[in-house]
Chains A and B, each alone.
Chain A
Amino acid sequence: MERVISGNEAVAYGAMLSRVQVIPAYPISPQTTIVEALSDFCASGKLKADFVKVESEHSAISCCVGAASAGARAFTATSAQGLALMHEVLHWAAGARLPIVMANVNRAMAAPWTMWCDQGDSLAQRDTGWLQFYCEDNQEVLDSIIMAYRISEKVLLPAMVCLDGFILSHTYEQVDIPEAGDVDPYLPSYNPTFKLDVDDPRSFNAAFLPDVYMEQRVKIQQAMEEAKEVAKQVDEEFGRAFGRRYGILEEYQAEDADILLVTSGTITGTARVVVDDYREKGEKVGLLKMKMFRPFPTGDVRRVLQKVKKVAVVDRNISFGATGIFAQEIRSVLHHHGEGTSVFGFIAGLGGRDVTPQALRDIVEYTKGKEAPEGDIVWMGVKP
């Protein structure tokens, strides 16, 4: 069914089609309309799920942990400070191997107060053991929620589907909403090996002494590694079932590119236009869209980038005291593997500042004009 819906509605439809069973959620802008839509779905009976009103995001994610521990498919959504408040429990969800899916509507962190978009909130949670996916448009948002459950429940790690605040969350686009009857065979119900059961009580997540804790961490890392391949299969099957594919990353006009832009989220859509413009002029500019950030698709990124001379990474985030986070990851991936590749790390669009086609052209021109960047960070559009 084709409908014009907002990114937040796409999230809600994705959750409904995934037949989530427990939805503990706490409203925060710009995520709120997800919670509203889901509570409407539950109230009207369209979605048979327990909608739990909670008193904070910490409770929301804790309630997800409880629900998932009991074997239910749990879903929540949040933004910025809300995600930060969940931090402690994010680690728990991953360590307890609970396949919770959460939508994070990317919003810049306060202080000062801001409601607008950047990736500072979700990227700050990169080490918690959650899978992370960044979406380009509303269709991808809906599809990614469904796929996230498939991946998560296979590798038993929680997943975060990220969408840019306002730019997607509150913008209406045409979206093909799959039929429930088509999604059900694609995403069967969740039946974990271990779950809380009053008739068969067990102790969960009791202390591991130093002699085994480390092995358990290795298992999480192995699951992360496995997730890359699982995500590819899940994407392929999704393509067969619904006719749409995203990959874990996407190369666009990248084959013979001299300069390759690396983007994530909605900047990708703008970058496609800019790349097309350069190609029309005969200039070899290409694009690498990063959909999956955790696990970081090291091998695939390395394969694409090591044959490119100049890589211009556009980060809508900053790790204070270091650089843009995607740039960090890419430099690390290329270390010893891409000595001929020069990585330019641009930071743009923090706190909702528009990243326009001109901004991306400026990035390309800067990269064209220099052998190497002047520093680890090149700030774009900062007032003189």
Chain B
Amino acid sequence: MEEKIVIKTLKDTPFLSVSLQSTLWNKTGTWRYLRPSYITRRAPCSKACPIEQDISFYLTSLADGKPEEAWRKILESNPFPSTCGRVCHHPCERECNRKDYDEALAINSLERFLGDWGIQKESLDGRGITKKKERVAIIGSGPAGLSCAYFLALEGYGVTIFEAMKEPGGMLRYGIPKYRLPRNILNQEISRITSLGVEIKTGKRLGGDLGPEELKPYAAVFLATGAWAEQKPKLPGDDLPGVWHGLSFLREVNSGKKVFLGKRVVIVGGGNTAIDSARVAWRMGSKVTVLYRRTKADMPAIPDEIEEAGKEGVDFIFQAAPVKITGNRKVQGVKYLKTKPGKPDASGRRSPVLIQGSGFTLKADSVILALGERADLSFLPEGMGAGNGLIAIDAWGRTNLAGFFAGGDAATGEGYVSQAIASGKKGAQAIHRYLRGKKENPDEDHREVVTLDKINLDYFSHQERAGISSLGVSQRRGKFAEVHKGLSPSRAKGEAERCFSCGNCIQCNVCLMVCPDVAVSFLAGEGKYLIDYDHCKGCGICAVECPRSAMKLEEEKWNE
């Protein structure tokens, strides 16, 4: 480099201005003011998911034709993909960045696809897990209890679940109808958990045949008893034969018991129990009318369920509140008054006000009241704190009694399956920290959430969301066959390819291709990119062009 080239003659003059040696010695990286680097940001779907599943990661695997990798990724955070893929209220899709571009990803259908794929092709075993000596007792085998058991078993703990009912599953088995969640799917997801060594003792009810003595050998206890106590506000005539409460009704039907409803059934309520009851009653051959005291938009039930109920022929009367169940020795009708929105209540929702004189009576052979559920706390161990009708827990899921933890509907009152699973997982993590003597709080995910304006839409094209096919209405009556069908492998792959992979590098090579200094290289062995900071001038094109916001630019701090 030191030698000066002197051109003395025309003949010596090169025809082109080109250096005779490599220019690699010139460390142009020293010019850099901004430093690009790779970062994994949080996708909005993951943030919205109660279980915080790494949706973008497993969809990338699926799009790459690696369903097993995708399935294993799901199972790291959710023991129930096939179940959630059917019954989850999927808040992930509401937050999907793609919804403001064309349509949200069909995440729920894809989760179901991967879950079912795993049921058919794969299994888990406990090999490779180092067993720990402590055993944990879990009360309740609903989604929260089973989820807690699963994550504890993965950590190596011995787990025994005590279940009051004859079979495990809790609300999944005794609440949710089969046309939404076929029992073979549920059974297989549960058996995957027991295959890890989790023991389930059924017919053991806390406060009944399960006493405190029996829990003594366990190093920790997780209470996940659910919300089985039904709200039963006083209504004249509610003691007539033919009056049911929603959960009891579903439990009877789901237990395989014969239930006789008659020709006309009136359902009262707007939650999932009400809609499930309505669709079950319709399948049993009745003409079904749902009375709800607010508007359709106010219904807490999953919108798709309301939609399907309507398709099946369930009638809805909105802004209508029952005032009396009429009948002589048995139900003959429901008298209701129309309502109008009144003053906002504590939750900000406007309480319905009855409109006097608007009375109308619907003929009915049965009435199913589905006015909400809450936790039954009558059997709580002595001295355990409660509040607002729930077992009192702290941020970890600890109760006031040492070694006792709680989760699911009994402790959170949240109500959705995925929330119960999340709560069980959180409980397992807390029990693990407790048993390992860790005092610090669990890590919280403070990563920046990627918004649509951070996605480089130049790299995407509009594509229709994969729709799912459903059983025709005529084929649903009288049967409990599953309504929605799953995605085919090719449609699932195509749908996964629609994912923006917000904040997650999928090795698309854009950074590598746009770098004017050829300072980005791909390390195939490690599956990641390397920036040559000796020559990266910090122009920032890579970070700005990154289609999915998986790079960042920071001011270079040369002096530090």
Contact = CB atoms under 8 A, between A and B. Distances in A.
Contacts of A218: 10, 13
Contacts of A205: 16-18
B16 A204 contact: yes
A204 B17 contact: yes
A97 B15 contact: yes
B23 interface: yes
Contacts, number: 49
A158 to B, nearest CB: 14
Contacts of A194: 16, 18
Contacts of A204: 16-19
Contact of B17 (A156, A211, A216, A223): A216
Nearest to B17: A205
Contacts of B386: none
B13 A212 contact: yes
Contact of A212 (B7, B19, B21): B7
B184 interface: no
Interface string B20-31: 011110100000
B468 interface: no
A206 B7 contact: no
B22 A201 contact: yes
B234 to A, nearest CB: 73
Contacts of B23: 201-203
Contacts of B13: 212, 215-216, 218-219
B518 interface: yes
Nearest to A96: B16
A299 to B, nearest CB: 22
Chain B interface secondary structure, helix, strand, loop or mixed? loop
A97 B16 CA distance: 7
B10 A201 contact: no
Contacts of A216: 13-15, 17
B15 A203 contact: no
A289 to B, nearest CB: 32
Interface in B1-58: 7, 10, 13-19, 21-24, 26
A218 B13 CA distance: 10
Interface string B64-101: 00000000000000000000000000000000000000
Interface in A211-228: 211-212, 215-216, 218-219, 223
A203 B7 CA distance: 18
A200 interface: yes
Most A CB atoms within 10 A — which of B15, B22, B24? B15
A202 B18 contact: yes
Interface string B312-329: 000000000000000000
B453 to A, nearest CB: 23
A97 B22 CA distance: 20
A320 interface: no
B7 A215 contact: yes
Contacts of B17: 204-208, 216
A198 interface: yes
Contacts of B10: 215, 218-219
A156 B23 CA distance: 24
Contact of A223 (B7, B14, B15): B15
A272 B353 CA distance: 99
Interface string B515-551: 0001000000000000000000000000000000000
Nearest to B20: A202
Given A201-B518, A215-B10, A206 B19 contact: yes
A156 B26 CA distance: 29
A203 B518 CA distance: 14
A198 B22 CA distance: 10
B371 to A, nearest CB: 62
B224 to A, nearest CB: 59
A198 B15 contact: no
Contacts of A211: 7
B407 to A, nearest CB: 55
Contacts of A219: 10, 13, 15
Nearest to B11: A215
A204 B15 CA distance: 12
A202 B22 contact: yes
B18 A198 contact: no
B7 A198 contact: no
A203 B28 CA distance: 12
Contacts of B18: 194, 202-205
A203 B23 CA distance: 6
B16 to A, nearest CB: 5
Contact of A202 (B7, B14, B15, B19): B19
B510 to A, nearest CB: 16
A202 B26 CA distance: 10
Contact of A201 (B7, B14, B15, B24): B24
Most B CB atoms within 10 A — which of A202, A208, A211, A223? A202
A198 B21 CA distance: 13
Contacts of B19: 202-204, 206
A208 B26 CA distance: 19
B558 to A, nearest CB: 24
30 contacts: A96-B16, A97-B16, A194-B16, A194-B18, A202-B18, A202-B21, A202-B23, A203-B19, A203-B23, A203-B26, A204-B17, A204-B19, A205-B17, A205-B18, A206-B17, A206-B19, A208-B17, A211-B7, A212-B7, A215-B10, A215-B13, A216-B13, A216-B15, A216-B17, A218-B10, A218-B13, A219-B10, A219-B13, A219-B15, A223-B15
Given A204-B17, A207-B17, 12 more contacts: A97-B15, A97-B16, A200-B22, A201-B23, A201-B518, A202-B21, A204-B18, A205-B18, A206-B17, A206-B19, A215-B10, A218-B13
Interface of A: 96-97, 156, 194, 198, 200-208, 211-212, 215-216, 218-219, 223
By Cβ-Cβ distance, the 8 closest A-B pairs, closest first, are A215-B13, A203-B19, A198-B518, A202-B19, A219-B15, A203-B23, A205-B17, A201-B23
